Amino acid sequence: MNHFPLMPILLPSLAGMVMLLPPLAARVRAQRWLAGGVLAALVGVAGLLLHHAANQPQIYALGGWQPPFGIMLLVDRLTALMLAVTAVLAFCACVYSAGKEDGEGPFFYPLYMFQVMGINGAFLTGDIFNLFVFFEVLLISSYALLVHGGGKEKTRAGFQYVTLNLLGSAFFLIALGTLYGTLGSLNMADMAAKVGLLSPAEQAIAKAGGLLLLLVFGLKSALLPLQFWLPHTYAAAPAPVAALFAIMTKVGVYAIYRVFGGIFGSDAGALAHLATPWIWSLAVATIVIGALGTYAAPSLRLLTANMVIVSVGTLLLAFVIDGGQHLSAGLYYLLHSTVTTGALFLIADQIRLQRGTTQDRLVSSKQMRPTGVLGALFVVGAIAAIGLPPLSGFIGKTLLLHSTHRFAEQVWVWPALLLSSFIALIAFSRAGTTLFWQGSAKRSAKAKTRPTQILAIVILLSVTPVLTLFADPIVAYSNGAAKDIRQSMQIVQQTIQEDRSSTHASP
């Protein structure tokens, strides 16, 4: 059996445990090298999985227990794409953290490893209770990482974040209980096969369970009425952690894709496209609120956090446009927006360090030292995030605009996307002029910048031109990934059928 699908979970979890043992426990430098090595290895593993999954989805039965009773991991093109973007982002954020963030507390790298393990596990699993467990793994490490280093701002944001997510977990369990009570299975593909066979009375209960799941994933991904926690949490988090958090909302979005595209997808009979009417209005409203937030944000980090909200709205909108036929555009935009917002959090942190007491607040203060590199990075990041040509944000948004064909959809999608880009353009131009050009004649003291930090930002930002140059093969791949949401469910169902018939035949 090919054991590669397990690696993205196994490697960081082993590394995290080794870091807690005495030989490495007190040596941050060694932990740093181990973390960097493991994350670089994860980039390699993700590349291999991208290659393998292109031919056929891989099913990995943990412990050899066959689905639907055993827990299985599923690697299709969608999973592989998510793993790849996580690995790149985590590697860059780890490089950035070297030397600064990791010195502020003893457990930075072990927590970081467990967080990466949780994110990878959530992407890999094909079992919905296992998804809950991995959500908890990534959440509990994110709680600790968020308050890493301490301080009033972090503690305040931390308590609210923890409370909200614990509430979310309770509702997650209730939703799982409801679905297990009606469907009698927790394997996603098996659930998808059984949803269509429910009696009308059971359908109502399953519908309630499904919509509760939308509530939970909406909370994780910051869909409109549940997005209030996000801006100040992300703005309070240490920079490399905030950059890593850029993928966390996407975990929620990914879960919505899997559950409402796979389980309650087009094969679900009366419950097909259960969440679509909800997501339509809420996604548009999320984009509007996020765009207004970027305009009102008093600091660069809050501005970037609001860009995360805009991107979540856009990604969920891509899921429902034209019945989900054009999700590939959304997946392309997902790759782009994750990397860009991650980079912008790191850039905001660099600017904050250079400006002394004013930090990254958008007020004029002492002139920053001329830092051509930082300015250039900011311009590239801003252009990519807004969606101006020639970078990948432009291509992603054009693909999305192109995918709407019906007038009733165009009326909502076009203004939302175009106006939000326009507002973001104003917000970023204002932020850039205030931060870099306005200021008194006095120069602020130059803060030390580590070359590794600039290197991390450059690597992250260089993904955008790559996405632009190789847009055609990437869109082709993400097209397959979008189809895989439904196809891999069918493939798993076939495997289960074959398995059942073979066990019936053998005795």
Partner 1 sequence: MELVFAFCVGVLTSCGVYLTLRGRTFTVVVGLTLLSYAANLFLFASGRLVINAAPILGQSEQIADPLPQALVLTAIVIGFAMTAFAIILAMRARTDLGNDHVDGNPPTIENEMRRKERRP
Which residues contact partner 1 (rule: CB under 8 A)?
129, 133, 136, 140, 143-144, 147, 150-152, 155-156, 158-160, 162-163, 166-167, 169-171, 173-174, 176-178, 180-181, 186
Q: Considering beta carbons, is residue 83 or 226 the nearer one to partner 1?
A: 226
Q: How far is the CB of 219 from partner 1 (least distance, A)?
A: 14
CB-based burial, 219-245: b 16+ in 10 Å, e otherwise: bbbbbbebbebbbbbbbbbbbbbbbbb
Q: Kindly state the helix (H) or strand (E) to which residue 85 belongs, with its residue range.
A: helix 77-97
Q: How far is the CB of 407 from partner 1 (least distance, A)?
A: 42
Q: Considering beta carbons, is residue 40 or 173 the nearer one to partner 1?
A: 173
- Distance separating alpha carbons of residues 218 and 315, to the nearest angstrom: 12
* Residue 130 contacts residue 71 (beta carbons within 8 Å): yes
Q: Tokens in use for 142?
A: 């994110």
Q: CA nearest 78: which of 413, 372, 480, 419? A: 480
Q: How far is the CB of 162 from partner 1 (least distance, A)?
A: 5
Q: Considering beta carbons, is residue 103 or 181 the nearer one to partner 1?
A: 181
Q: Considering beta carbons, is residue 30 or 140 the nearer one to partner 1?
A: 140
Task: List residues bridging with 125 in a β-sheet.
Answer: 73
Residue 185 phi/psi, 5-degree rounding, is -155, 155
Q: Considering beta carbons, is residue 150 or 389 the nearer one to partner 1?
A: 150
Q: How far is the CB of 63 from partner 1 (least distance, A)?
A: 14
Residue 364 phi/psi, 5-degree rounding, is -80, 145
Q: How far is the CB of 469 from partner 1 (least distance, A)?
A: 44
Q: Considering beta carbons, is residue 162 or 388 the nearer one to partner 1?
A: 162
Helices (H), 297-450: 300-320, 327-354, 372-386, 392-403, 407-432
Name residues whose C-beta falls within 8 Å of residue 332's C-beta, 6 or more positions apart in sequence.
Answer: 392, 395, 396, 399, 467, 471, 474, 475, 478
Q: How far is the CB of 71 from partner 1 (least distance, A)?
A: 11
Angle (CA) 342-474-80 rounded to 5° is 70
* Residue 5 contacts residue 49 (beta carbons within 8 Å): yes
- Distance separating alpha carbons of residues 296 and 302, to the nearest angstrom: 9
Long-range contacts of range 157-161, CB-CB < 8 Å, 24 or more positions apart?
157/232, 157/233, 157/235, 157/236, 157/237, 158/233, 158/236, 160/229, 160/233, 161/229, 161/233
* Residue 81 contacts residue 478 (beta carbons within 8 Å): yes
Q: How far is the CB of 124 from partner 1 (least distance, A)?
A: 18
Taking each helix axis from N to C terminus, what angle separates 471-505 and 451-469, rounded to the nearest 10 degrees? 80
Q: Considering beta carbons, is residue 229 or 436 the nearer one to partner 1?
A: 229
Q: How far is the CB of 198 from partner 1 (least distance, A)?
A: 15
Q: Considering beta carbons, is residue 18 or 173 the nearer one to partner 1?
A: 173
Q: Considering beta carbons, is residue 156 or 273 the nearer one to partner 1?
A: 156
Q: CA nearest 240: which of 349, 370, 387, 384? A: 349
Q: How far is the CB of 309 from partner 1 (least distance, A)?
A: 21
- Distance separating alpha carbons of residues 131 and 175, to the nearest angstrom: 13
Q: How far is the CB of 129 from partner 1 (least distance, A)?
A: 6
Q: Considering beta carbons, is residue 158 or 396 the nearer one to partner 1?
A: 158
